[in-house]
A and B are shown apart, each in its own frame.
Chain A
Amino acid sequence: MKLLDPRDPRHLLTVGFLVLAFLIPLVIGSSLYYLTILILMLIFIIYASAWNFLTFSGQGSLGHAAFFGIGGYAASLVALKVGLPPLVTLLFGGCFAALIGVLIGLTCVRLREWFLAMVTFGFAVIIQTLIVSQLAPVTGGWDGFPVPKLVPTTIPGYLMIEYYLVLLIAIAVILTFRYLLQSRIGLALAAIRENEVEARAAGINPVPFKLFAFGVSAFVTGIAGSLEIFHFGYITPEIFGIDLSFWPIIYSITGGLGTLSGPIVGTIIVTLLWDGLNALGLTYARFIIIGVLLVLIIIFLPRGLVSLPDEIRKRLKGKRS
């Protein structure tokens, strides 16, 4: 498959989207508020894509905040204690999260959906407890500690530079996922997802592939977590909160599970809706609206918003015939 095919409307859409992503800061670049929203949106696109990658292997997680937070803590501790620049320590955050991810994956690969959901949720709680109790001398307990920023605020236009850095990382992550899914690994993951017994019969051992998916997903999630922490310049154990585990799920489902574009579309639409509702002053009501949206999408549009054009086309055809 070619990277770009001018006859495919989806590819044209992607290119248009990328051009927009590169040009947008030039238009609104002066507003720190909008730039911040865009940076966080990109970070969550990375996070949601990483969560979604796990579902390609037929697994799910209710506790991805564990990896998000571990990445954040590891990257910021290395940056503080060793003095390396944040851009380098991102990789430490990712690797450490991947290490823990594979360890958690080892306990999870044999579990069924519900159990997997509970175990991953439980790990987030356990890790948060460790951070605030036994590890408190290093992590500062509930108070957290300040962290250097990704781009020092002394550089003029630092937020703009940060935006482009995060954008490049996001593009790299999504291209990597695309490459992985089109490779033999992606085929094996699909086989395991559709029918694990048949995959075994075809000579695929599911365990290494599931662990691989867990490791990659945790690695990218760790990078997303470090990016968020280096954006805010402060870390507290609230990074392990239930909310942070649920957001990537909401984004991916809204956009469309099991597609590369789903988490991207979902993150953009839900974030815009979220900030729009906030601007209207609906602090609690926006949660309710998001919840209702989620329920409606699961029932009526199980393949997410990216399947909306197909569904509309199908309806129109159905009516005509």
Chain B
Amino acid sequence: MDGTIGILSQVAFWGLYSGCIYILLATGLNLIFGVMKIVNFAHGEFLMLGTYITFFLFVISGFNPYILLIGSIPILIIVGVIVERLCFRPILGTGKLNEIFISLGLIYIFQNLVALIWTDEWRSMRSPYADILINLGPIQLPLDYLIIITVTAMILVSLYIFLQKTTLGRAIRAASQNRKGAMLMGVNVEKVDMLTFGIGAGLAGAAGTLWAVSGQVFNPYMGSIPAIKGFAIIILGGLGSIPGAIIGGLAIGMVENFTAFTLGGSWKDAVSFILLIVVLVIRPTGLFGEAEE
């Protein structure tokens, strides 16, 4: 009996940890959706880019990989700003399918640029704490997972403070509540778009660093599946709602790991889509989504 509780809480903990990466992705997507009302299907490529930048910096500098967040986040913010400026701004308001299609182009560009630079074989890196396990009663926790959960919480808290307390953060919230109203109040919404897109990409970059540090393998094509799960999460949690993204991320992380534990590992990816489809059949606008306009 004690053993099953141990295993179950271990699985729950894995869920918590994999939920962290999804939360960072989904929060970024949600910020972008809130302000620009677009869905960037190439968001997973920012995650992938984050893993490779971390990997590259780790190999050349040998720093503690957690410190490399200082590198991966700003680089991805710049990449995000450029992508917004060059690709998404020209098509803003030209039809909802266009943004999906332009993301497909971006997916091809990013995946193969990375494959060109670092080849397309699977890679992984080793955290300096990889061997440290912490005993908590019946379960054993890798130290890395604990750090990852803490780092995610810290990133989310700083994002919250940024959105609540700074002028730029207020501008982002204003633009996401009412774009025209914000414009009338003197908010430069185009600048806000760029910045929001950058922050979204930066969060994905942070997720990339955490992905690499946790010892998971990565290749240039790894981004699509986590990104699509990010969308599943924002649909579950409601488009534009950041608390929804956090709850949804944790839920998907848990469901995935419990499914992999009961039905077998090959169902890990499919189950989040089944959940998504079930939710959409019952409520076509998402769990906490607003009614059709």
Q: Which A residues fall within an 8 A CB radius of B?
A: 55, 60, 62, 107, 110-115, 117-119, 121-123, 125-126, 128-130, 132-133, 242, 246, 249-250, 253, 284-285, 287-288, 290-295, 298-299, 302
Contacts and interface: CB of A to CB of B under 8 A. Distances in A.
B138 interface: no
B92 to A, nearest CB: 11
Given A107-B281, A132-B266, A133-B264, A117 B109 contact: no
A119 to B, nearest CB: 6
B280 interface: yes
A293 B96 CA distance: 20
29 contacts: A107-B280, A112-B285, A112-B292, A113-B97, A114-B231, A115-B235, A117-B100, A119-B273, A121-B228, A122-B228, A122-B270, A122-B273, A125-B270, A128-B270, A129-B267, A132-B266, A133-B264, A133-B267, A253-B101, A284-B116, A287-B111, A288-B108, A288-B109, A288-B112, A288-B113, A290-B108, A291-B107, A294-B108, A298-B91
B137 interface: no
Contact of B280 (A55, A119, A295): A119
A244 to B, nearest CB: 13
B98 A295 contact: no
A160 B146 CA distance: 63
Contacts of A132: 266
A158 B203 CA distance: 55
A250 B108 CA distance: 11
A288 B224 contact: no
A249 B101 contact: yes
Contacts of B75: none
A302 B98 contact: yes
Given A288-B109, A298-B91, 13 more contacts: A55-B97, A107-B280, A112-B284, A115-B280, A118-B232, A125-B228, A125-B269, A126-B270, A246-B107, A295-B87, A295-B105, A298-B101, A302-B98
Contact of B284 (A55, A110, A292, A294): A110
Contacts of B97: 55, 60, 113
B58 interface: no
Nearest to B100: A117
A105 to B, nearest CB: 12
Given A115-B284, A288-B108, A298 B102 contact: yes
Top 3 A-B pairs, shortest CB-CB distance: A122-B273, A291-B108, A294-B105
Contacts of B145: none
Contacts of B187: none
Given A285-B112, A287-B112, A118 B276 contact: yes
Contacts of B108: 287-288, 290-291, 294
Contacts of A288: 108-109, 112-113, 116
Contacts of B107: 246, 291
B100 A60 contact: yes
Contacts of A294: 101-102, 104-105, 108
Chain A interface mostly: helix
B109 A122 contact: no
A246 B101 CA distance: 9
A140 to B, nearest CB: 15
A294 B87 CA distance: 11
A83 to B, nearest CB: 31
Contacts of A302: 94, 98
Nearest to A141: B266
Contact of B109 (A123, A129, A292): A292
Contacts of B235: 115, 118
A247 B90 CA distance: 24
A121 B101 CA distance: 14
B274 interface: yes
A275 to B, nearest CB: 17
B112 A298 contact: no
A285 B97 CA distance: 26
Contacts of A126: 270, 273-274
Contacts of B277: 107, 119, 122-123
A298 B276 contact: no
B17 interface: no
A215 B280 CA distance: 20
A287 B116 CA distance: 10
Given A291-B106, A298-B101, A284 B270 contact: no
Contacts of A62: 41, 100
A285 to B, nearest CB: 7
B109 A295 contact: yes
A214 B252 CA distance: 29
B104 A118 contact: no
Interface string B95-133: 011101110111111011101100010000000000000
B284 to A, nearest CB: 4
B143 interface: no
B39 interface: yes
Nearest to B95: A302
